[in-house]
Amino acid sequence: MEMIRWGILLALVLPVPFFLGFIPVKHMNRLQKTPAMTYVCGWFVSFFLFELTAVPFILFEQSFTMLVITYTCIVAIVLLLSLWQGRQLWRCYLEEIRQIKEMPLHVKLGWCVFYLIVFFQMAYAVLYWHYDGDDAYYIATAVLTKTFDTMYLRDAYTGYIYPLDVRHAFSPTPIYQAWLSKLSGIAPAVVAHSVLASVWLGFLYCVYGQIASRILWNRKNYKPVFMILIAVWFLYGNISLYTTETFAMTRIWQGKGLMAGMVIPAMFLCLLYLAQESVSQGMWMLFICVCMSAVFATSVSFMVVPTMTGIAAVLIGIKKKSVRYGVDLFLCCVPCLLLAICFFIVK
Amino acid sequence: MLDELVAVTKAVAEDVLLYNGNSFLIPLFLIALLFLWVTEKDRKVRVVLLYLVAALGVVFICPVYAWIGMKIDKDVYYRVLWSLPMGVLVCYSVVRLMTRFRLFVSKMLIFVMAVLIFMINGDLVYTKTLHFRAVNAYHIPQEVIDVADAIKLDNYKPIAVLPAELLPYLRQYTADIYTPYGRNMMEPAWNFQNTLYDAMEGDKYAYDVAEVARCARNEKCAFVVLSSGKRMNGSMEEQGYFLFRFVQNYFIYMDYNYYWVYKEQGLLDEDVIEAGG
């Protein structure tokens, strides 16, 4: 039974996000059709769908079970659609894998070093635990959600009934983890600390890997060098309590860690591609998903996402000499702005 | 208004300094930005990694923007700094610098120098922070699990008061036990007050048992968990409690009042009934 539970959980965090990524990746350029990009897209599609589904259920104080049924059905439908749409992508992935053979030896060695560092970080995340006081809220919220079948209607510190916690209701990362827990039967603390802490590190490096692919597109052999430097940068990033690296390395399973480690770098990844002359439809899809995922992660995104998107829209619009393009870019964060308006109204 | 803007500017400067810690993270980031400004030729990359980042930096330290941001949530304004991809800029600068040299030795030298700078500049994330060897998949102290398992009832969710060191973890393990307060009490800045908490944690070395028992009853606690590491001034038995279990250096007492009520209603597990007599 335990094996089945772990099997379900690992399926939910490894192949399911990967397959969900097929839809945007199918509409991307040839160079973007990589397994890592698919995995990145899949997670953001998951967060996007969850944010859209969960927030109304939370605000209307519906039961968690209702949300679980609805979201699981949505994921199942999108998954089937993805598998159907992405059936031609396997050929691209095979080609990608074949290219490994053609790499010079020193590049292969570089990748080995990088994977070793990442493996060490992932193993450390599983074998060691880090005290973080905020887990008393985040993980407790997931546990309460699962136990009482309500969302944000219990005080995480006492367990007593509580008015709706609007401040966190728009960023339901703990509810997502409760969903993973409900489907797998594995406790939320185990899901977050022993599984997501490690799996999301892989996700983080996939995002940075895609950034490397874009900025080093004409110096591919330097990609492992960049990735090793990034891995070391994160390893020695505990400069203060507040840095991106500290949040990503010590509490990646919390919404803040997700925002610092994956969402903001993914925004830059999208903007790097959106600044190019020809932009794929898939990249637009990813950008919309990332903007929404920022809200899923933390309410700070209500400020950060419109600011980043707004400034990027102006700069890229000027660069492309197109007001229309700038407006289109800014429109991607409109769902985020609408949620921000709802947040301030409800708050 | 002007005074407020000055105060906000100071708060932003403080945030930046706190973010930077005792390192040269911000100078390193600015050097990387300057280096790429001079050397980066790809206009698309320039727009996003240079102009956008520089503009974001300016906006975030702008007092008017910061004033709005701090009105929303002053404590977390520093998080806007996450939007400056310092790691990407610094690492990309190093790679670009490497590409300017032909000799493999020179490239390696720059790489090694960069790694050394990263190591000197920052702290290893695993040594400076509070990392412990995991003893269970929950990644919480085992005593929390053992104490919670002892208190949990099959047919009822009781209220229990626990020592402060167990509070941050209890509900990460189970929501089947209510507590009159939680980790929120341990954050002085949040200004929560609770007389039971004061009775439990007021004295580092001893419990005033009569006071603990009185406050626990006021908070409707069926169970009181006391650390064996602290002296007990008085006896819980005299206050109408019985020792239900001793788990991982914690005494778990149950209030006889609740014991009889729960027993009559058939809410107690066999082991509790046995201990209560």
User: What does each C-alpha distance from A138 to A117, A173, A256, A345, B140 come to in angstroms?
Assistant: 28, 8, 11, 24, 14
CB contact under 8 A, A143 and B122: no
Average pLDDT on A334-339 reads 94
As a whole number of angstroms, the distance between CA B36 and CA B34 comes to 5
pLDDT of residue B4: 85
Average pLDDT on A275-279 reads 93
pLDDT of residue B242: 95
Q: Which residues neighbour A152 within 8 Å (Cβ) at sequence distance 6 or greater?
A: A58, A141, A145, A162, A164, A165, A166, A168, A169, A175
Mean pLDDT computed over every residue of chain A = 96
Which percentage of chain A shows pLDDT scores above 90? 92
Q: Which residues from chain A sit within 8 angstroms of residue B130, using beta carbons?
A: 130-131
- Encode pLDDT of A16-26 as tens digits: 999 999 999 99
pLDDT of residue A31: 85
Q: Which residues from chain A sit within 8 angstroms of residue B168, using beta carbons?
A: 131, 133, 135-136
B48 vs A130, A157, A275: nearest CB: A275
Q: DSSP characters for A60-120?
A: TT--HHHHHHHHHHHHHHHHHHHHHHGGGHHHHHHHHHHHHHHS-HHHHHHHHHHHHHHHH
pLDDT of residue A3: 93
pLDDT of residue A227: 98
Minimal-distance CA residue of chain B relative to A273: B44
Q: Minimal Cα–Cα distance from A83 to chain B, Å?
A: 33
Please compute Rg for chain B using Cα positions.
28
Average pLDDT on A141-162 reads 96
ipTM of the complex: 0.95
Average pLDDT on A269-279 reads 95
- Number of residue pairs across A and B with CB atoms under 8 Å? 257
Structure token digits, residue B2 = 């002007």
Residue spans per domain, chain B: 2-128, 142-276
Average pLDDT on A253-263 reads 97
pLDDT of residue A100: 87
- Give the number of other CB atoms < 10 A from CB of residue B70: 19
Say if B115 is an interface residue toward chain A (CB within 8 Å).
Answer: yes
Say yes or no to pLDDT of A213 above 80: yes
- Encode pLDDT of A30-55 as tens digits: 889 999 999 999 999 999 999 999 99
pLDDT of residue B5: 87
Ranges of chain B with pLDDT below 50: none
As a whole number of angstroms, the distance between CA B269 and CA A325 comes to 67
CB contact under 8 A, B82 and A244: yes
